[in-house]
Amino acid sequence: MNRFFVVNFFKNGSAIIEEKPQIHKIKNVLRLQKGDKLEIFDQYSKEYITEIEQITDSTIFLNILKQRKVNTPKYKINLAAAFPKGKRGDWIIEKVTELGVDSIFILETKRSVMDAGIGRINKWKQIAIQAAEQSGRVTVPIIERRKIEQINGIKIAAVINAKEHIKQKLEELQPKKDVDEITYFVGPEGDWTEQEIRQIEGLGAINVTLGSQILRVETASVVGIYSLGIWREHINQINQIKM
């Protein structure tokens, strides 16, 4: 069943789709018609099974057949990365969204090569929406620019850099069970400056290594978010057993 993320799904008591790109896809790409079913999720993590009632040039009217509120993970996982140029950044957004990241912070660092403007951020938001629709999740990650000092209130942060003295491995990291938010930092391929390392450590970050190989930003991002996702699933399972 085709899935769509629809903000403000209800209008004047009706379940509708009014976004032109979504209408175009439904009408002209998928060629759906009255009676066909769609799965919708909204900004409130509610999921709906719907049936197309009417299609016009500006609106698609839907009948709701079933709905449910989906419980989202208690533990939030964020990525704070100095993004590379070109499609490599698009790839990061798509893959970490599929892996369940909650927020993506585009880091402004001394050696960053990507200066993302409004247009690029909006494109990444659309990529994240499409990845969420495809992967079956019911939330779309927040995407915004941040400076290191603007990332506050984080309980644990993982820092990737090339310092040989770092022995702590990411997969061996055991975050405390009372932590509810983790931000995973990935620096530019030119590495962090010493000042930036001190800034991140000042946030209480744990320095970790991904091994002896020097990884690209997108590889380090995906490996880290995947590993933290495994930790989150493990903690959720433990909590469910206790309940």
Judge if 84 and 188 occupy the same domain. yes
- Same domain? For 123 and 176 the reply is yes
Q: Where among 53, 69, 85 does a domain terminate?
A: 69
Same-domain pairing of 38 and 121: no
Model pLDDT, residue 66: 95
Pairing of the two strands 14-17 and 10-11: antiparallel
Range of the domain at 171: 76-242
pLDDT at residue 215 in the model: 80
Residues 6+ apart with CB under 8 A from 102: 73, 76, 77, 78, 139, 141, 142
Last residue of a domain, one of 44, 69, 94: 69
Contact 48, 9 (CB under 8 A): yes
- Kindly state whether residues 192 and 140 are assigned to the same domain: yes
Could you tell me if 200 and 110 lie in one domain?
A: yes
- 102 with 195, same domain: the answer is yes
Q: What is the pTM of this model?
A: 0.86
Strand partners, 243: none
Task: Note the pLDDT of residue 230.
Answer: 85
Q: Which residue has the higher pLDDT, 127 or 177?
A: 127
- Our count of domains for the chain comes to 2
Question: In this structure, are 212 and 92 located in the same domain?
Answer: yes
Let me know whether 132 and 54 are in one domain: no
The answer to whether residues 99 and 229 touch, using CB atoms and an 8 Å cutoff, is yes
pLDDT confidence bin for 106, thresholds 50/70/90: very high
CATH number (domain holding residue 46) = 2.40.240.20
In the prediction, which pLDDT does 95 show? 98
Q: 10 Å Cβ neighbour count for 57?
A: 7
**Do 114 and 220 fall into the same domain?**
yes
Angle ∠(187,193,197) on CA atoms, nearest 5: 70
Least confident interval from 2-16, 91-105, 126-140:
2-16
* pLDDT over 80 (residue 243): no
Domain boundary residue, one of 69, 88, 123: 69
* Model pLDDT for residues 33-77, shown as the tens digit of each residue: 999 999 999 999 999 999 999 999 999 999 999 999 988 888 899
Q: What's 179's domain CATH number?
A: 3.40.1280.10
Residue 189, Cβ density class (10 Å: 0-12 exposed, 13-18 middle, ≥19 buried) = middle
Q: Indicate whether 52 and 123 sit together in one domain.
A: no
Look at the alpha carbons of 90, 94, 95, 99 in this order and tell me if their dihedral is positive or negative. positive
Residues 52, 149 share a domain = no
pLDDT at 14 over 70: yes
Does 84 share its domain with 46?
Answer: no
Cβ–Cβ < 8 Å for 40, 18: no
Residues 179-203 have a mean pLDDT of 82
Whole-number pLDDT of residue 24 = 94
